[in-house]
Amino acid sequence: MVVLWALALALAAGLAASCPPNFVLIFADDLGYGDLGSYGHPSSTTPNLDQLATAGLRFTDFYVPVSLCTPSRAALLTGRLPVRSGLYPGVLEPGSQGGLPLEEVTLAEVLATRGYLTGMAGKWHLGVGPEGAFLPPRQGFHRFLGIPYSHDQGPCQNLTCFPPATPCDGICDQGLVPVPLLANLSVEAQPPWLPGLEARYVAFARDLMADAQRQGRPFFLYYASHHTHYPQFSGQSSAGRSGRGPFGDSLMELDAAVGALMAALQDLGLLRQTLVIFTADNGPETMRMSHGGCAGLLRCGKGTTFEGGVREPALAFWPGHITPGVTHELASSLDLLPTLAALAGAPLPNVTLDGVDLSSLLLGIGKSPRQTMVFYPAYPDEVHGVFAVRKGKYKAHFFTQGSAHSDTTADPACHASSPLTAHEPPLLFDLSEDPARWPWARTLPCRCVASQAAVPGQPAATAQSPHPEGASPGAVLPMQGLGRMEGVCL
């Protein structure tokens, strides 16, 4: 194992020294684990993403730490649990005073130290601040074109979502100014023409790639699409064409944008020099029913710590470097910062990181070093702390709570009416046998678990030491004296 890691580090260093790769990070919005054709959806029109899955590495066990927009995006860009950066509870609003602290080091800032041209297109949702203090140009991005928060955080009843004149579904948030489209720190349109927005983002991305090539430098593109967040929209080429309604049309346009980005790389001769990663911020907003996504066989969705809320589709594509296939290794959006930094030969920030370097896994010479994943609720507090922990193939739920975002599913545990519930002993599941973790999973007798992951920065709880030093008694409950538990036991 030590030899493999040494080989991985040497190979990553060699790649970075010879020619640092370009990075395209595509981040979808409210996309479910089961929404893509490559993840089993029978009617989604996603040929470009499915081709990425076929020609690249498809992850089956890729997670976000929180199933909500703002904290998930903070985790992606910093490699740190969002409770470290203070981006909780809930999401940032247009009038929020705070944002991603400038002391946090973003992936863009890490790569900029290696000479990367960095750009972001799409949804930011990590704060605006006075004079745009928290916007992407203040967080390491040389260029930015996008909306500073969710496109439903403003009135939309008078907006067109599908051409020529189909209005957006619903009324969105009232009592606010229309959402702005920003070019760096300037307002370009307010509100923007939604059916033309994705085409604008693709053009922005093409220009970034071409300019970086002319300047002889690598680039990092963070493409944070608004698709498939409610209210869905698309341009003429996708409107009414997916066979899956507005959600499907939105997803179809996202897929077409992915195809356009790949075509741009092909035209510039950059395919073999570019690592493309696709994933999403959280699970589907099932309360929207046909206007929401699909978690496949997984339980619940957005706003919960059940698998449907935190497990995401994820693809990695890099011809000549990544062998096509499927991996069941544990991975997270937290891991992208240390992974891309390693591949670029960039130094890591001098802070505690919760992500790990996956370059050995991507390059096919090792396994994921991640063995544990902790999950926080959308509204964490110091009393309850971590809600769930995955270690290897097992997942334990110490607390569960429903969410309005996951209403209308058949399972009442997903709904907002399902209260915060402590589980002693915790609910334990073998995800290799029971990934859905439904409440009627078979119950077997268990033996005690000797250890578990604790709150970051605190030692693990054990059966011998049920409350780790410095931890509040409710932060992470020890899995001691489990008795009988749902699922397959240790």
**Helix or strand holding residue 160 (H, E):** strand 160-162
Instruction: Kindly list the distances between the CA atom of residue 71 and the CA atoms of 83, 87, 140, 326, 454, in Å, as whole numbers in the listed order.
Output: 8, 6, 18, 28, 20
More confidently predicted of 390 and 482: 390
Catalytic annotation, pick one of 69, 156, 161, 172: 69
pLDDT at position 382: 87
pLDDT value at 354 more than 80? yes
Q: Under a CB-based contact definition with an 8 Å cutoff, are residues 447 and 490 in contact?
A: yes
Our measurement of the distance from residue 192's CA atom to the centroid of its chain's CA atoms, rounded to an integer in Å, reads: 25
pLDDT value at 329 more than 70? yes
- pLDDT digit string, tens, across residues 168-221: 988 899 999 999 999 999 999 999 999 999 999 999 999 999 999 999 999 999
pLDDT at position 437: 58
pLDDT at position 434: 77
**Residue at token pair 């004149």:** 165
Neighbour tally for 17: CB within 10 Å: 9
Distance CA 308, CA 121 (A): 27
Q: Where are the beta strands (DSSP E) in 334-440?
A: 372-375, 388-391, 394-400, 421-430
Q: Under a CB-based contact definition with an 8 Å cutoff, are residues 407 and 423 in contact?
A: no
Residue 148: closest CA among 133, 127, 173, 175: 127
Per this entry, what is the length of the chain?
490
pLDDT at position 128: 96
| Mean predicted confidence (pLDDT) in 241-246 | 93
Is residue 125 annotated as a catalytic residue, yes or no? yes
Q: How confident is the model at residue 433 (pLDDT cuts 50, 70, 90)?
A: confident
- pLDDT digit string, tens, across residues 365-380: 999 999 999 999 999 9
Q: How confident is the model at residue 408 (pLDDT cuts 50, 70, 90)?
A: confident
- pLDDT digit string, tens, across residues 222-241: 999 999 999 999 999 999 99
- Classify strands 117-123 and 219-224 as parallel, antiparallel or unpaired: parallel
For the chain, give the percent of residues with pLDDT over 90. Answer: 78
Instruction: Kindly list the distances between the CA atom of residue 131 and the CA atoms of 108, 119, 138, 141, 186, in Å, as whole numbers in the listed order.
Output: 20, 20, 10, 16, 10
pLDDT value at 457 more than 90? no
More confidently predicted of 267 and 465: 267
Neighbour tally for 410: CB within 10 Å: 7
Is residue 300 annotated as a catalytic residue, yes or no? no
pLDDT value at 264 more than 90? yes
Query: Helix 336-344 and helix 2-18: axis angle, to 10°?
Result: 60
pLDDT at position 438: 53
Of the ranges 70-79, 225-234, 481-490, which one carries the lowest mean pLDDT score?
Answer: 481-490
Distance CA 184, CA 147 (A): 10
| Mean predicted confidence (pLDDT) in 354-370 | 97
pLDDT at position 124: 98
Query: What does pLDDT average to over the chain?
Result: 87
Q: Under a CB-based contact definition with an 8 Å cutoff, are residues 35 and 313 in contact?
A: yes
| Mean predicted confidence (pLDDT) in 7-14 | 47
Catalytic annotation, pick one of 19, 41, 125, 489: 125
pLDDT at position 226: 97
pLDDT value at 255 more than 60? yes
pLDDT at position 445: 29
- Helix, strand, coil percent values for the chain (each to nearest 5): 30, 20, 50
pTM: 0.87
- pLDDT digit string, tens, across residues 138-168: 999 999 999 999 999 999 999 999 999 999 9
Distance CA 295, CA 152 (A): 22
Q: Go through 306-341 and write b for each residue having 16 or more CB atoms within 10 A of its CB, e for each that does not.
A: bbbbbbbbbbbbbeebbeeeebebbbbbbbbbbbbb
Of the ranges 162-166, 209-213, 411-415, 455-459, which one carries the lowest mean pLDDT score?
Answer: 455-459
Q: How confident is the model at residue 444 (pLDDT cuts 50, 70, 90)?
A: very low
pLDDT value at 33 more than 50? yes
pLDDT at position 2: 38
Residue 282: closest CA among 228, 222, 357, 221: 228
The dihedrals phi and psi of 391, each to the nearest 5 degrees, come to -130, 115
pLDDT value at 454 more than 50? no
